[in-house]
Amino acid sequence: GALTKLHLAATVQAAAPHQRARGRSGPGLVIRKDDLRQATREGREGNLVLFVVDASGSMAAKRRMGAVKGAVLSLLLDAYQRRDKVGLVTFRGKDAEVALPPTSSVDAAAARLESLPTGGRTPLAAGLLKAHDVLRVERLRDPARRPLLVVVTDGRATGGADPVALAARAARLHASEGTASVVVDCESGIVRLGLAGTLAGDLEGTCVTLDELRADSIAGLVRDVQGAHGVQGTQGVQGNRRRAA
């Protein structure tokens, strides 16, 4: 096959033992076709874990945000020696915002996460669409990076005309692109509507109910879903022998 990217060190290593037999008498190696080595990437790919968090004005909003902040920092510390990135989209009031652009910097994340506002209505569709925009840009930057969407919500949507239908449509947009996803159901109380489970169905993802939302439980959940989808760590480069044409 055609040689597209030469692995220089591996090629020199292959040619060096044969220099006397090939009659080398001056500077420079005598290289033959079967010495050439192709540089190929193989192994594990980098991940992008994108949290989409309900920051609307419910009683549990502060506890929810505290747990998610801890989880983001925990994942970043865990991914310190890998190519992983973590990002955060929040939705509340009338719109959604990128609270933490995808990053692998623990310091940058801590600074952004120090103060995040809560309150207002629940524009779930806006949050999912904002997440779609973030993932679209990241796919263009690095097509090999595998995205994982973590939606932290009770599944309720308010504000605007037919907000539940809009949220379902936005969720199916993610599903149509094959994005791995998990919904962390934050619904509490005696009467449960099960809307988070419906959202997970629209995302074609997994729904997990946590009575007590803690940073370590979210971080552990993300790692479990990463493993289930074959999402792993860094790529390595090694020299492969080039096949003769």
Asked whether residue 184 is domain-assigned, the answer is yes
Asked whether residue 1 is domain-assigned, the answer is no
Kindly report the CA angle at 54 between 49 and 59, in degrees rounded to 5? 135
Take residue 194 and report the two structure tokens written for it: 């099960």
Q: Which amino acid is at 241?
A: R
State the total domains in the chain.
2
CB 183 within 8 A of CB 206: yes
158 and 120 share one domain? yes
CB 184 within 8 A of CB 212: no
Asked whether residue 237 is domain-assigned, the answer is no
130 and 99 share one domain? yes
24 and 84 share one domain? no
In this predicted structure, the answer to whether residue 64 has a pLDDT above a threshold of 80 is no
pTM beyond 0.85: no
Asked whether residue 236 is domain-assigned, the answer is no
* pLDDT, average across residues 77-93: 77
Residue in 17, 27, 13, 114 with CA at minimum distance from that of residue 73:
114
pLDDT tens per residue across span 154-201: 888 887 778 889 999 999 999 999 999 988 887 766 666 778 889 999
Cβ atoms within 10 A of the Cβ of 215, count? 17
Asked whether residue 245 is domain-assigned, the answer is no
63 and 13 share one domain? no
When pLDDT is cut at 50, 70 and 90, the band that residue 117 belongs to is confident
Asked whether residue 158 is domain-assigned, the answer is yes
Structural domain containing residue 148: 47-228
178 and 200 share one domain? yes
